[in-house]
Structures are given as C-alpha cells and as structure tokens.
Amino acid sequence: MEEFLRLIIGKYNYWIYITLMMIGLYAMIAKNNLVKKIVGMNIFQTAIILFYISTGVKKGATIPIIEHSHDAAHQAVRAADYINPLPHVLMLTAIVVSVATLGVALAVAIKVYHRYLTLEEDEILKQIREP
Amino acid sequence: MEPLYSIRPLIAVLVSLGVVPILISSRNANVREAWTFVAAGLKFLIVLSMLPTVLEGRTVVCTLAEVLPGVAFRLRVDALGMLFALVASSLWIITSAYSIGYMRGLKEHSQTRYFCFFAVALSATIGAAFSANLFTLYLFYEMLSFATYPLVTHHQDAEARRSGRKYLLYIVGASIGLVLPAMVLSYHLSGTLEFSGQGFLPRSGSPFLLGILLFIFLFGFTKAAIMPLHAWLPAAMVAPTPVSALLHAVAVVKVGVFCILRVLTEVFGLDLLASLHLGTAVAYVAAFTIIVASLIALTQNELKRLLAFSTIGQLSYIVLGVALLSPKGLTGGMVHIAMHAFGKITLFFCAGAIFVATGKKHISGMVGIGKQMPVTMAAFFVGALSVIGLPPAGGFLSKWYLVLGTLQAHQWPLLVILLVSSLLNAAYFFPIVYRAFFCQEAQSLFQNTTREAPLWCLVPLVITAVCSIVLFFSPFPFLRLAELAAP
Amino acid sequence: MSEHYPALLVILPLLASFFISAAGWLRPACCFPLAVAALGASLLVSLGLLSIVIGGGPVSYRLGGWAPPWGICYQVDHLNALVLAVVSVVGFINLTAARTHVKKDFPERAGPFYTLYVLFVTGLLGMVVTGDAFNLYVLLEIAAITGYALIAMGKGRAPLSSLNYIFMGTIGACFYLLGVGYLYIVTGSLNMEDIARLLPPLHGSKVVTVAFVIMMVGIWLKMGFFPLHAWLPNAYTYAPSPVSSLVAPLMTKVMVYVMIRMVVTVFTVDYAFGVLGLNEAVVWLAVIAIVAGSVLALAEKDVKRMLTFIVVAEVGYMVGGFWLGNRPGFTGAVLHIVNDALMTLCLFLAVGNIVYAKGNSRWESLPGLFRTMPWTMGALVVGALSIIGVPPTCGFFSKWYLLLGAIQGGHYGFLAALLFSSLVSVVLFFRIFEMGYFEPLGAPHGPTHGQDGTTTVREAPLGMLAPLWITALGLILVGLYTGQIVGRVIRHAVPAMMF
C-alpha cells in the first residue's frame, strides 16, 4: 500500500496527465454533441502538452534565462540550476498545432451544422439513415 | 551449343500486339482484316525464319529486363517452343480466314474487338511458347487468360456471363491460388526460375514437398483441363466457333499443356521425376482424365461440347506421353501437340461451318447432312481419323509413338488405356460421320442439293484437313522438333 | 545548388502555397499554374535527390547549419529518396488531373484548394525527408490538418467524415507525440540517429517499450491498420475526387514509411524484432487486416468505397511484409509502398473520371461503361490487374517479394492471406467489369445491333485521361523496372541484420 502511494505521489505529474487524457478520450468517444467531442480532443492534446512541460522540471531550478552580468563570461553555467527549456519550446509548436486542429475542427463542425441543422451525432446519423 | 542472340523472338511476340492500334483505328472492315492477315503472315514468317537455327540444335535467346534477382524477362526459342509456335502461328493465318467467313456469315457484333483480342491472345501464345523461364511463362499465361475473356464472353448475354465467370474462376483462380505460390516456393528452393534441360529444382529437396509442388503445378495450370478442373472448357464453348477452334483446341489449352510439359521436363527434370516415381503418378492422373473425358463425350449431343470433351481427353495424351519419361513417349506426347491441333481444329471448323450453313448445333439434327455438305463432312471424317489415331492421318503417328512409349516404360496398364480410349474416340466420332452420309432417305433431315458454308469458311477447313493427311506422310518438321526436344 | 536539395524540397512548395493563397484572392486563374510549378519543382528536386543517393549514397542536410543533435537534420537515404520520388510523382500527376474537377465542382474555391493541396504534399515530403522525430510530428500535423480540410470540401457526408477523421487522426498524432516524449525522457534527444545511438543500453527499459508501443499504435491509427481503420472508408469515400486520389495513395503509404523509419532507424531492428519479439503477433494482425479488408470490400456497392477497403487490405500487406522481419519481406513492403501508391492513384483517378461523367460511382452507374468510357475503363482494368497481381504490372512484383518473405519466414498464414486477397480482388474487379461489359443485358449489343461506331462515347476530358493513362502505363513500366528499383535502391535500404 505504502509502495503504491509512493508510486502515486512520486509520479503525480504522470497520473495527472493520464487522467486528463482519459477524460479527453472519454469525451471524444462517449459524448453525443460534436462540440463536446472537440473539447474532449482539446483536453486530450493539452494533457500531452502538460506531460511534456512537466518532464522539463527540475527541483530547485529556475527559469532558463542566463543572466548577463558584467562578469558573465567567467561564470560557468550549471545545467542543474535551470529547468530544461527544450520541452517548452517543443510545446510552443504543439500548442500551435492544437490550436490549428481546433480551428479546423470547429470550422468543419459549422459546416456539419449548416448541413444537418444540429450538432447532436445521433440526430445526424438518423438523418443520414432516413434521407 | 552457343545460343543465338536475336531480337526475333520478341518481334514474333509483339507483331500481333503491334497491329492492335491499327485494328482499332481502321473503320473499314476490309482494311482491318487485311491487317490481321499481315500480322499473321509476318508472325508465321518470323517464327519460320528461326526454324533452321533450332533444327541445328541451337536456341535463340532474347533478354529484355532483369525483373527479379536471377529472374529475367527472357525469351528463348528451343525445339519444343518452336514446335508449338509453328503450330499456333500457322493455324492463326487459317483461322483468320475462317473468322472472316464465320463472323461475317453470322453478322456478329463488335468484330473489331474480336480481332483485337484474338491478336493479343496469339501474342500471348507465342510468348508462352518462347518463354525462357517460369516467370515469363506465367506472365504470358495470365495475359492469355485475360485476353481470351472478352472472346469467350463475346455474345455478352447471360449465358456468356455465366461461362465467363466459370472461365475466370477456374483459370485465374488456379493460377493465382496454386501456380503463384508454387512458383514462389520453387524460387525459394532454388533461387532461380530459369528453365534448364535437367530441371532447376534441387535434388536435395524433401520428396514430399517436391511431390506436393508437382501436383500444385499440374492442377494449377487449369488450361490443360486435367480432371477434375476441366469444367471451364465445355462452358467456354459459348464463344464464337473460331475462338473455340483456335483457342480452345490449340492455343489456350495447349499453353496449359505446354506449361505442364515445361514443369515436368525443365523445372523438375526427368531424372528427378524418375527418382521420385512421380512420373507414373502424373501418368495415371492423365490416364484417368483420358478415359473419363471420352466416356462423357459419348453422352454429348451438342457437337461443340462433344469436341470439348474430346479435347480434354486428347490433352491428357500429351501429358501422359511426357509423364511416361521414356524417349518415345516424350516424342509422341510432343508431336501430339501438332497432330491433335490440325485434327481438332478441322473438326471445330466443320462444326462452325455447319452452324453457319444450317444453324444446327446438335448431333441429332445432323442426320443426312453429308448430302448437303459433302466437303465439310469429308473434312470432318479426316479430322476424326486424326483424333482417333488412324492412318492416313497425322494423329496415327503420335499415337504410335505413345504406344511405343508405354512399351518402353513397361507400363502395360497405360497401353491398355490408350487403346481403349482410341476405341471410345471412334465410338463417338464414327456414328456422326456414318449418319451424315449413310442414312435412309426418309430419316435425312436435309435436301439432296449441295449447299456449303461460304468459301471463307470452307477453304480453311479443307486446308487443315489436307494438312492432317500430309502430316501422316511427311511429319517433318514437327517430328524432328519433337525428337530434338525429347532428350 | 544540389546540396540544398533536401531543404528546397520542402521550402519551395511551402513558400509557393503562400503565393497560391494570395493568388486565390487576386487572380484565381494563376493558382493552378503556380501549384504545378511548385510541385513540378519539388518533383524535379526529389528525382534529383534520388539520383544523387543512387550515385553517391545517403545525403544529410543541416537546417540552418546547426549540428545534428541540436539542430534539425534532414536525412535522405535510399529508403526515403524512393518514397520522396513516389510522393512527388503521385502529387504532381494527380494535380494535373485535379484541374478539371475543380473547374466543375468548386471553381470559386480554387485558391484554397490548391493552397491546401500544395501544403498537404509539403507536409508529406517533409515527413519523409526529416531526420528529427519531433519535426516529423509537426509535418505530420501539417499534412493531416490540410488533409482534414481537403476532405471536408466534399459534398454530403464529407464534413462529418472529416470530423471523425480529425478525432481519430488527432489521437494518432498525439500518441506518436507521446511516444516521442517518452523517448526524449530517456535519451534527451530528438534526432533519430542520435536516439538510435543512445537507445541500446536502455533496451530493457519499460519506458522504451511503452514509447514503442504507443508510437506504433499512433502510427497504425493514422495509416488505417485494421482494426484502427474505422475513419478511413468514409473519409476517402466522401472526399472530392481529386482529394481521394491524393490522400488515399499517399497518406497511408507515408505512414507505412514512418513506421519503417521508426523501427529501423530509431528503435533498430534488433530491438523491435529481437528484444520485443512482437513480429509474429503483428504479422497475424496484418493477416486479419488483409482478410477483413478484402471481405469488407465485397460488401460494398460503390466502386470508390470498395477501393477504400482495398486500401485497408493493402496496408495489411505492407505492415505484414515489414514485420516478417526478413529481407524479401522488407523489400516487398517498401516496393509495395511505391507500387500501391501508383495503383491506388490509377484506380482513384479512374473512379474520379466515372464520378465526373456519371455523378457517382455506385453500381447503378456502371452498366455500359465499357462502351461509353472505353479509355477510363481500360485504365481501370490495368489498375485492377495490378491490384490482383498479374505480371507485368508492378503489383505482381511486390506481391512476389511478400510471398517469398512469407515462405522464407515460414509464415503460411500470411501467405494464405495474400493469396486470398488476390482472389477476392479478382471477384471485386470482375464484378465491376461484368457490369460495365454485359449490362444492360440483351438489346444494346445483341448480334442485331450492327457495327461498331453506332454507340456514343462520352469520355472524360483529355485533361483527366492523360494523367490516368500515364499512371496506368507507369504501372507496367515500374513493373518491368522492378529489377532496377530493387537492385539499385531498395537493396541498400534493407537493414544489414535482415536476411
């Protein structure tokens, strides 16, 4: 039990991202409304962004901006003092991607709405079955 | 001996393919048919031009592209291939003439399409004859399958569609389902597909596997109509008669047999077959087909179906001859390709001529027909003699060699089967001829006036009938080629 | 100049797409020529790259001059040079055929269409050329998002199908990203070769296993590997014709390439086939995919929809061939990427012509097609023969290698599945041919009907027939040059550990 708790607490960032991911996945699969599905998709993507960000964290480290004091050249930069900036940079791109996906998805959803005058999936499917 | 490198085999294959655009674009039927003759004549001449080289014992080789490691798209003309190509290309000229008579006589639709696919089918046939390896052979085999589909289903009615389905199911189904894996397996075992006189499969292979492989090949090449995979051939008789005549008595079915011969002699090799006792097994499969096909033929009333079952039996003669693995048997089997071709095509031509002249398809309606169509029925008699194997027709020679082959191989039961089968052949052919000529006046269904089919139909069948007799007296070059091909 | 080819390949069409977009507002007539110029340029560049690679071996290019583990590196070896050539050839040929469709179906949206089209091809080219795992994700999303938009341009159910594709595609891409994330955690690198160098000591690690599995599932989802194919048939069926014939040949094939690249270059063959030992299981999955795809195709009564299920089956061919883990299987899988892209293009172009002439491609519009559209049907026959696997069309040769691989690997289930699917293809296509050839039964072509030339031929315009026939003849040419393709390109791409 104690071991299990340690697993939960020690790696809480993973648990959070997995939980978020599952919420997103659930919404995408189980929700009937198309916009809710899109929201679920966004949660899903955000969970992964969170996962990446959390992997860059180091205990006691600061943001990765090297201060340029007048004698900066003589000071060695210790990597352990700064959190890893690369995942952050990657996630900038991933955020752009997810925003783009969201945009396209919403645009397509509007198109669907214009065609069927509803966003409820079961009603759309009913219309398709009985033309 | 050093092979001769030449592009001629390729031209021989392509010449009929090359006229297809001309055929499609020509609006005038006469121009179109003239081009068919040009192609047929050229093809025959090119094939003929390679005959002296082959008779010297050399081969003509033409390599196009290496498509797989150790496997090239390659043509090679050897004695057996030359034998077959000579038969097919010479008969194409005659069949072209006959087609004109038949198709115009019946005012058939889509004649351009018909002549085009006929030309493609001939390309594939010659290609198969000149294949240097199993891959090239398979290529042309498949090409032939698909090129003949529009010919078989020419009438485009419900019956044609049914027959077309059966045709594809048997032929393409078996070639993909059986031959293709067998070919891959052979390649896996030996790393090559190139034909060689001793066979290319390794001697060390497990006998069980090799046996299975042989039978997959044997039944996979369904064009040879070995029972029980023969049902497509009678069904394919819905095609116009020239198609049945050239393709389903000569080109298509003999390509099937030819493939089996190649597999027996150049993929497995006679030594390997003998050491595994596989030859005898194949021979008995063929013998079964011979007897059963002849028995079924006895019961047929539709003339073309009867001829189809007769063909099924005769094809197995060829397989039987080679499977005997004795020199005389090999010669007999191979020369039977030519002898049967001339005999059977005559019979089909006659059936077509009768249909054009009288519209009759059934034997029961042909009583007394000899009075109206004496020339046709005389030719029919000659063709029947050849197929039964009686002198003075070419078929006698091949049967003679086959009988000698069974003696050489000490296969007494097979000898008996050959003789019984000849009796059966006589039993289904002679009554037709007899009732055509010697029936009582009252029974005769025809007038006493002579009214033959158009000349375009009549002349070709007379030529093939004469050829059948000439072949008895001078079987050169076919016999010589068969002897060369039989090691 | 030629040393910049890998970058030009992506940058040229990327820049061009901005111009096309602008031209869409200002001067719509310029969109098509601009798109042709852009994709023509990348076609030339990719062919140039292929010849460079054949002549002098792999090429690598550092974007911005940054050294590999830090900067993004474009790697072109024999494997992706070939796939690049295929992607650009298919993209270009299909573009020339797209023009007539666009003029007829949505002339007012020519600008957005060509912009998205060129961006889509850019994304695919980038995915293939890149040597960086994260860069691949970004380009994957570029291709995917433009693909969603292109598909949504169709009529009827297209937007709904596109939305469904968005959900599934996003899950797939996110899984891939997650896999990259785990790899980054354990290796601290994103460069494929660098990861491969750092991974071997970590082969026992569970993190690597998780990364591998998640990544594969993501990629399979994107390629429509059965049973993760549910989004594919609808999306490809309801897309506009020029989009179907772009997305169907390319998206799945490029994802197969990504799978091969990930396994071979990043995780290495040793790990995937040796340490994990998943081959047997994955090949059986492929067997199921092939059989299921073929059987599901049988149930369809629309040519285009039937083709989408054939795509599902063909994905099984490639995945199975690759996971056989031997030399002929690998060769067959890579060769099939080339061949299947061309075959699928040929078939979808032909169906595009039918849709153009008849309005749809359902069974009821087929009768009499051999008379009214002989050229389109002729090309359809060539494409069908290739799918069936009849020599000398190229489909035969990849099937040959796959069969050989199955026999060499002793995997007879896969062998049987391949043969089964070939036989089913015969049924599938000859059913169509029968309808086009025999029906309507009776009157129009009975013996009394008279000579040829009395029927009206209503073919698609030349602008669509020419690309179709170039593709169809290409199928035969590629088939005859298989020896060259395998001997000079694919042979060098096979990992050394495979036999």
Mean confidence (pLDDT) of chain C: 88
Phi, psi of A59 (to 5 degrees): -65, 130
pLDDT bucket at C370, cuts 50 / 70 / 90: confident
How far is it, in rounded angstroms, from Cα C293 to Cα C286? 10
Residue C386 inside a domain? The answer is yes
Closest Cβ opposite residue C162 in set A41, A52, A108: A108
Whether residue C392 contacts residue C480, with contact meaning beta carbons closer than 8 Å, is answered with yes
Whether C66 and chain A come into contact, CB under 8 Å, resolves to no
Cβ–Cβ gap A97/C184 under 8 Å: no
Residue C125 inside a domain? The answer is no
Q: Could you tell me which chain A residue has the CA closest to the CA of C188? A: A86
Phi, psi of C60 (to 5 degrees): -130, 150
Query: What percentage of chain C carries pLDDT values higher than 70?
Result: 97
CATH class of A2-59+78-129: mainly alpha
Q: What is the mean pLDDT of each run of 10 residues along chain A (131 residues)?
A: 79 86 90 91 91 83 71 66 83 90 92 88 85 67
pLDDT > 50? residue B14:
yes
Residues of B in contact with C408 (CB under 8 A): 188
Collect all residues with Cβ–Cβ distance below 8 Å to B387 and sequence separation of at least 6.
B310, B314, B340, B343, B344, B347, B395, B425, B429
Mean pLDDT throughout C28-37? Answer: 88
Token digits of residue B442:
């009252």
How far is it, in rounded angstroms, from Cα C45 to Cα C49? 6
pLDDT bucket at B295, cuts 50 / 70 / 90: very high
Q: Which residue has the higher pLDDT, B122 or B246?
A: B122
pLDDT > 50? residue C450:
no
Q: Where are the domains of chain A?
A: 2-59+78-129
How far is it, in rounded angstroms, from Cα C417 to Cα C315? 13
Chain A contacts in chain C segment 110-139 (CB below 8 A): 134, 137-138
pLDDT > 50? residue C451:
no
DSSP at B366: G
Q: Could you tell me which chain C residue has the CA closest to the CA of B186? A: C404
Nearest CA of chain C to the CA of A48: how many Å? Answer: 7
Closest Cβ opposite residue B65 in set C451, C453, C480: C480
Collect all residues with Cβ–Cβ distance below 8 Å to B368 and sequence separation of at least 6.
B435, B436, B439, B443, B444, B445, B446
Q: According to the model, what pLDDT value does residue C441 have? A: 65
Q: According to the model, what pLDDT value does residue B65 have? A: 82
CA max distance for chain C: 80
pLDDT bucket at C169, cuts 50 / 70 / 90: very high
Mean pLDDT throughout B464-468? Answer: 91
Chain C contacts in chain B segment 39-68 (CB below 8 A): 64-68
Query: For B426, what's the count of Cα atoms within 13 Å in the CB-facing half-sphere?
Result: 10
Nearest CA of chain B to the CA of C426: how many Å? Answer: 8
Whether residue B370 contacts residue B430, with contact meaning beta carbons closer than 8 Å, is answered with no
pLDDT > 90? residue C471:
yes
How far is it, in rounded angstroms, from Cα C134 to Cα C266? 12
pLDDT > 60? residue C444:
no
> Which element (helix H / strand E) includes C361?
none
Residue C361 inside a domain? The answer is yes
DSSP SS3 for C185 = helix
Q: Could you tell me which chain B residue has the CA closest to the CA of C403? A: B184
Cβ–Cβ gap C174/A52 under 8 Å: no
Cβ–Cβ gap B185/C407 under 8 Å: yes
Nearest CA of chain C to the CA of A25: how many Å? Answer: 8
Phi, psi of A64 (to 5 degrees): -80, 65
Q: Please classify residue A2 by burial: count the beta carbons closer than 10 Å to its beta carbon, then call 0-12 exposed, 13-18 middle and 19+ buried.
A: exposed
Which of the listed ranges B106-115, C451-460, C469-478 does the model predict with the highest average pLDDT?
Answer: C469-478
pTM value is 0.92
Q: According to the model, what pLDDT value does residue B479 have? A: 85
How far is it, in rounded angstroms, from Cα B127 to Cα B147? 13
Residue C477 inside a domain? The answer is yes
Q: Which amino acid is at B247?
A: L
Q: According to the model, what pLDDT value does residue C307 have? A: 92
Q: According to the model, what pLDDT value does residue C453 have? A: 44
Q: According to the model, what pLDDT value does residue C255 have? A: 93
Q: Where are the domains of chain B?
A: 277-487
Nearest CA of chain C to the CA of B168: how many Å? Answer: 9
Nearest CA of chain C to the CA of A84: how many Å? Answer: 10
Cβ–Cβ gap C389/B164 under 8 Å: no
Q: According to the model, what pLDDT value does residue A71 have? A: 59
Do at least 3 CB pairs under 8 Å connect C with B?
A: yes
pLDDT bucket at C455, cuts 50 / 70 / 90: low
Closest Cβ opposite residue A104 in set C134, C166, C178: C166
Closest Cβ opposite residue A101 in set C134, C170, C190: C170
Cβ–Cβ gap B173/C445 under 8 Å: no
Closest Cβ opposite residue A128 in set C157, C181, C185: C157
Mean pLDDT throughout C66-78? Answer: 84
Counting every residue written for chain C, the total comes to 499
Residue with tokens 């020599």: C391
Q: Tell me the CA end-to-end span of chain B in Å, nearest whole number.
A: 15
Number of domains present in the structure of chain C: 1
What region does A66 belong to: left with phi over 0, alpha with psi -120 to 50, or beta?
beta
Q: Tell me the CA end-to-end span of chain A in Å, nearest whole number.
A: 58
Residue C414 inside a domain? The answer is yes
Closest Cβ opposite residue B68 in set C389, C419, C483: C483
Residue C100 inside a domain? The answer is no
DSSP string, B404-472: HHHHHTT-HHHHHHHHHHHHHHHHHHHHHHHHHHS--TTT--S-SS--PPPHHHHHHHHHHHHHHHHHH
DSSP at C450: -
How far is it, in rounded angstroms, from Cα B151 to Cα B243? 7
Cβ–Cβ gap A101/C141 under 8 Å: yes
Residue C113 inside a domain? The answer is no
Give the domain range for residue C419. Answer: 297-304+314-445+453-499
Q: Could you tell me which chain C residue has the CA closest to the CA of B191? A: C404
Question: How many B×C Cβ pairs under 8 Å?
Answer: 103
pLDDT in tens, B187-207: 998 888 888 888 888 888 788
Choose among C319, C323, C339: nearest CA to C388: C339
Mean confidence (pLDDT) of chain B: 87
Q: According to the model, what pLDDT value does residue C495 have? A: 82
pLDDT in tens, B256-270: 999 999 999 889 888
Whether C476 and chain A come into contact, CB under 8 Å, resolves to no
Q: Which residue has the higher pLDDT, C1 or B364?
A: B364
Residues of A in contact with C162 (CB under 8 A): 108
Subunits close to C (at least 3 CB pairs below 8 A): A, B
pLDDT > 80? residue C168:
yes
Residue C480 inside a domain? The answer is yes
